[in-house]
Structure 1
Amino acid sequence: MKIKNYIDNNFDKIMSDVIDIIKIKTVKAEPVGDAPFGENLKYGLEKTLELAQNLGFRTKNLDNYVGYAEIGEGEEYIAILGHIDVVPEGDCSKWSVDPYRGEIKNNCLVARGAIDNKGPIISSLYSLKAILEENPHFNKRVRVIFGTNEESGDEDIKHYLSLEKPPKYAFTPDGRFPVIFSEKGIYTFSFRERIDWDRTEVLEIQAGTRSNVVPEQGKITLRNSSATKVKESLKKMVELSKCSFELLEEKDRLVVIVNGKAAHASSPERGINSIYGMYLFLNEVLEEKDSLKNFARFIAEYIQETTDGKLLGIDSLNMETGDLTISAGITKKIDEYINIKFNIRYPISTTEEILDRELQCRAQENGVVFFKENHNPPLYFAKDSILVKTLQDTYRDITGRDEEPAALGGGTYAKLMPNTVAFGPNFKEFKGNPHSFDECMDLDMLKIGIEVYAKAILKLSEYI
């Protein structure tokens, strides 16, 4: 009971510390000096490690890529692994609160990073603190690791593994409960085509900032010569697209705003992708002679507004771990090219090689360029493995919820750090709006998570 009592008695302090870190806008920026992901992320990591030092932990900063707080001794160690970087807040007018203030509403912390991932990883420090309160002589080596590049790459974990040995057992509080025994692979790529920008009605086109976010809004700027046809085409979009469209007439150009609904790329069916609406519209409005017509037609025919990849020939069904999904995250002009960056989440029932082959084939057949970017293979642990079984038993003992280990569409650090699975922080019925407006974390679930993590560490420590 000491662990639970400690958490209950110190929960206000825990929340205060979480909110202090939330207030730092830790969105990736250009490298500056010794700040590989921008000054704000460097500062955020420094303040997080300072918080850990004040709680009595040893800390280490690995060149502002990643840091950790540690207790105990020994060659092998257990880790809780999370991240303090966040995706951009988007249109602040869509939030009910300032996204970087950390406000409590309806027993939820509402803020960017509340659930993904500052709330869980900062509060995990108190899981270790609670262990020491219950057993001051506990001396197994345990780390809480704070990454800074989870949302836009994996350079932080690569850097960590170049300097430190991996944990024997680890979990990341960046999924959901119960324990996540499998994660889909993540495969990012682009379709692009060289465009003669003097032979198209399109002057500018832009949507999205991250490949792992379904973009809520896109913008197309057109030459004013096509005003009549633009208006006629927009009328047809009611039947062709789930998006909504706005037309702004400026003196020498037309601006079409395409509105969808934001969502995480791991569950793109929960959103409405503005990029797809943009290209459905362009396919409708552009003449055959337009230099951008072929690309617009390709996206309109092979993607439409689907999320399963079937039109591209890459769909893959998997009852155990979930089906393949695809989402467009960014479109823009890149020099003489038009470009769309996609994010695929795929189960173990397909392979990287199949995706390579089929996407390359569709591109070649349609005069489009396929450009492969990043790839992380699927993750799969046996349900009776020590790590999965220990975490699952701990969760069941504390919550009384008899649920089977789950599979996750989202990508976590578990794909990058050996011997790691995702575990919590929220129950499956709580969505939390990660990567969207009014991101939030239920306070009761957060409190339970701190207790679950502490007792899971104690159980795992029996195996090191």
Structure 2
Amino acid sequence: MEINRKIDELKEGLIKSSQELVKIKSVEEPAKEGMPYGEGVHNVLNKTLEICQNLGFKTVNIDGYVGYAEYGEGEDYVAVLGHLDVVPEGDGWIYPPYGAEIHDGKIYGRGTMDDKAPMVAALYGLKAIKDLNLPLSKRVRIIFGTNEESGCNEMPHYLEKEKAPVAGFTPDAEYPIIYGEKGITIFDVTKKLTVKSTGDVIIKSLNGGQRANVVPDYCEALISTKNTEAIINAAKEFKSKTGYDVTAEIKDNMIVVKSVGVAAHGSLPHLGKNAIMQMFKFLGELPLGKCDIADYINFFNKYVGFETDGKSFGVYLEDKESGKLSFNIGTVSMDEEKVSMALNLRYPVTFKYENMMNPFNEKIEAAGMEIENMLHQKPLFFPADHPIIKSLQKVYTEQTGKEAKLLAIGGGTYAKEMPNIVAFGPIFPGKPDLDHQANEYIEVDDLILNAKIYGHAIYELAK
């Protein structure tokens, strides 16, 4: 238990370093010279490597895409792989989303759980091994990615320059151990708006959501109509009837309709309230006449509505290893020429891409829609007796006293991007999953326990 004692000695630095990174807004922005994902991401990577250097580690920055801290000798290396970029903060925070304030034993802020503080926990786990001079047979790298939330586009750059680890984990999911991850697709469903509305109610614009992999908490529509009072009254009646937070107000001789939902991670859409689909349900009750945008709205109301498993769409899949397919509508945008909706579908680990997409394509083609900007990650599945799985099970049980059950998840992690990596923590059983939500936090005690588990896991894999 020397590692645990050493981490207790290092805990003030562990907390402070976590706070320093959370305070940097590292949402992807347009690229600049030497900053492939924008200034905020560039700043957080530099700050992280500075912290690593101050802890006595060798550091490398690979062209602003990826950085790493390294310790030890040997031909092969073990890796802890995580990310420093975050999703946009959204609304509804009780404490500043980049304040890293501590209240009631919790550090609040975007990235406290996903994934900055857990990566700092792994770093301090390695620091404990270094300070204790524990013998290792392999090098250890703590690898800091910068584009996990927007497609993991930096990982091919890393693997072009560096060989893959022989074993490792990513602290970006939940405990005990993730041995399966669903297949993930992100894509746009588009329709050209050639048949325009000629009625009294015309939708001029429609915008909602932040990203495909987040349940949208806001959607706004701009409507042109002569009968403004009727739309405002319809919104009041709709809200009273359904309980959905939809309101309408007059602005510059137009009607602005606002739909407020509840954000959640795109892999768990049933935990949120989809503001776009609330908006679609309301718009579907208005007299839009015969036009393309009305057809688009009616199609999604009929085949999706508030379902999150694809049943009505005809793409429902389920297996015992990873459960049901998840179906999230993340964003919508519309102008006079085109409407586009970003979807995030995740299919069970024992199925193939074609099992989902063949029926999906048939459905939208019949409705005159197209798919654009397809991103696809195949499922990931490790055998239960794999050496990495067995090693991490041993560590988890020893450090927590609890059984290390194997889990399959809908969330996609870096484990799909690099060989020989599985997802391991940082969310403990029974604790809320606040990734991508307002008021994301990590309990200080859990941060320290994570550092102890990760220290032992690194040692077990590299000793």
Deviation at 1:229, TM superposition (A): 4.2
1:287: Cα distance to partner? 2.5
Query: In the alignment, residue 184 of structure 1 is paired with which amino acid?
Result: K
Please state whether the residue corresponding to 2:427 is helix, strand or coil: coil
Deviations 1:352-380 (A, max 9, x none): 11222111101112222233510001110
Indicate if the aligned counterparts of 2:396 and 2:404 stay in contact, CA closer than 8 A.
no
- Out of 127, 134, 140, the residue aligned to residue 129 of structure 1 is 127
> Where does residue 402 of structure 1 map in the other structure?
403
For 1:169, the equivalent position in structure 2 comes to 167
CA contact (8 A) 2:204 2:335 kept: no
1:199 match: secondary structure: coil
Aligned mates of 1:243, 1:183 — CA distance in 2:
33
Query: Do residues 40 (structure 1) and 40 (structure 2) align?
Result: yes
* 1:21 corresponds to: 21
Q: Report if the CA contact (8 A) 2:208-2:220 is conserved.
A: yes
Is it true that 1:367 corresponds to 2:365 in the alignment?
Answer: no
C-alpha distance 86-335 of structure 1, shift in aligned 2 (>3 A): farther
Instruction: Trace 1:228-307 onto structure 2 (pairs within 5 A).
Output: 228-231=229-232, 233-235=234-236, 237-238=238-239, 243-307=244-308
Contact 2:178/2:406 (<8 A) preserved: yes
State which of 145, 152, 155 in structure 2 corresponds to 1:154: 152
Matches within 5 A, 1:329-340: 329-333=330-334, 336-340=337-341
2:100 aligns with 102
Q: Is the 8 A contact 2:98 2:110 kept in 1?
A: yes
Structure 2 residue matching 1:326: 3-state secondary structure = strand
Structure 1 distance, partners of 2:243, 2:58, is: 52
Q: What does the per-residue CA deviation read over 1:78-107, in whole Å, with 9 as the maximum and x for residues that have no partner?
A: 00000000011112xx11111111011221
* Distance across 2 between alignment mates of 1:139 and 1:53: 22
Q: How far 1:63 moved relative to its partner?
A: 0.5
Give 4+ residue runs of structure 1 displaced > 4 Å after superposition.
238-242
Identity %: 37
Q: Which residue of 1 aligns with 2:66?
A: 66
Contact 1:66–1:148 (CA under 8 A) maintained in structure 2:
yes
8 A Cα contact 1:2 1:133, kept in partner: no
Relative to the length of structure 2, the TM-score reads 0.96
Q: How does 1:279-428 map to 2 (within 5 A)?
A: 279-333=280-334, 336-371=337-372, 373-428=374-429
2: CA distance, partners of 1:241 / 1:154: 39
Query: TM-score, structure 1 length as denominator?
Result: 0.95
> Is the CA contact (8 Å cut-off) linking 1:240 and 1:280 kept in structure 2?
no
Counterparts in 2 of 1:56 and 1:356: CA distance versus 1, 3 Å: same
Contact kept, 8 Å, 2:78 with 2:167, in 1: the verdict is: yes
* Matched residue type, 1:131: I
Instruction: Report SS of the residue matched to 1:279.
Output: helix
Aligned to 1:49: 49
What do the CA deviations read for 1:162-210 (whole angstroms, capped 9, x no partner)?
1111111010000011011111111112211111486361111111121
The amino acid that maps onto 1:290 is C
Amino acid at match of 1:380: F
Partner of 1:141: 139
| SS class of match (2:319) | coil
CA shift, 1:279, in A, is: 1.3
Helix, strand or coil for the counterpart of 1:339?
A: strand
What is the letter of the counterpart of residue 306 of structure 1? E
Q: Which secondary structure state, in structure 2, belongs to the residue aligned with residue 75 of structure 1?
A: coil
The 1-side partners of 2:240 and 2:317 are apart by 28
Q: Are the counterparts in 1 of residues 168 and 461 from structure 2 also a CA contact under 8 Å? A: no
Q: Which residue of 2 aligns with 1:82?
A: 82
Amino acid at match of 1:144: I
CA contact (8 A) 2:204 2:336 kept: no
CA distance in 1 between partners of 2:16 and 2:455 (Å) = 20
For the 8 Å contact 1:110–1:440, the answer to whether it is kept is yes
CA distance in 2, matches of 1:334, 1:64: 36
Instruction: Tell me, yes or no, if structure 1 residue 115 matches structure 2 residue 113.
Output: yes
Q: How far did 1:333 drift? A: 2.1
Q: For residue 11 of structure 2, what is the amino acid of its counterpart?
A: F
- Residue type at the aligned position of 1:53: Q
User: What residue is the counterpart of 1:191 in the other structure?
Assistant: 189
Contact map agreement 1:432 1:441 (CA 8 A) in 2: no
Unaligned runs of 5+ in 2: none
Do the aligned residues in 1 keep the contact of 2:75 with 2:138 (CA within 8 Å)? no
Counterpart contact for 1:273–1:305, Cα < 8 Å: yes
Contact 2:23–2:99 at 8 Å: present in 1 too? yes
Q: Give the stretch that moved more between structures: 353-362 or 161-170.
A: 353-362
3-state SS in 1 of match to 2:460:
helix
Q: Distance in 1 between matches of 2:437 and 2:129?
A: 34
Which amino acid in 2 is paired with 1:74? G
Which secondary structure state, in structure 2, belongs to the residue aligned with residue 340 of structure 1? strand
Work out whether residues 247 and 255 of structure 1, in 8 Å CA contact, stay in contact via their aligned partners in 2: yes
Change (3 A) 1:71 1:242: farther
**Cα separation, 2, equivalents of 1:194 and 1:286:** 21
How many equivalent pairs are there?
460
C-alpha contact 2:218 2:259 (8 A) present in aligned 1? yes
Moved more, 367-376 or 169-178: 367-376
Structure-2 separation of matches of 1:370 and 1:29:
25
Change (3 A) 1:369 1:236: farther
SS at match of 2:127: helix
CA distance in 1, matches of 2:230, 2:294: 15
- Residue type of the alignment partner of 1:323: K
